[in-house]
Structure 1
Amino acid sequence: MTNLIRRGFGAAILAVGAAMPLAQAQANVIDISTVTCNDLLTADEADRNAILFYIYGFDAGLRKDVKLNLQEVSNFSARLGGACATDRSQTVFEAIAKIAN
């Protein structure tokens, strides 16, 4: 495992704890289905990365894709950011539906 991947996973794991200002912070649980594009775009970098890694991993799991391709994560993030910029009030999952192939 490269240092980049270790740092990325470490940052993502640490960021999950930092993501608490979103949604249901008091319960230490975030219902990702309620996260809006505005929440994602205005979150700090650690929170945003944690959410993006979670969503990308969730989607990969549905596709039974067990490989982590950092370029695909980057491409996914850029496409999602573009979709979110068009309508900040939509949920992140609504934006994902718009960019799905």
Structure 2
Amino acid sequence: MAFTARNLDIYDIADAMSTKGWHLNALQNPPAIHVAVTLPITKVWEKLMADLEAVVEAEREKERVRIVEGKGAKGTAKGDSAALYGVAGSLPNKSVVVDLVN
């Protein structure tokens, strides 16, 4: 299952989920995160959703604080996932990514 966010940086959400022990897959075009719904995940689905709700609320609060402090919405700080996809997405020749994988 893949999902995105309209008003938050989805990669910041992925990074925050990683700190809770969930390692979701970051996607690009459009920016999104993905979780494979497998048998092991079905056993912890409620915990995953509770953690996701908590992370989204924490990210919303960070946005509210940025706005109150006059920094504007969508903070400029990016997490590891955002940095990785930012670099890969900005490459004019995507064959470099294939070379890195090999």
Give the TM-score of the pair, scaled to structure 2. Answer: 0.28
Give the TM-score of the pair, scaled to structure 1. Answer: 0.28
- The structure with more radius of gyration: 2
Higher strand share: 2
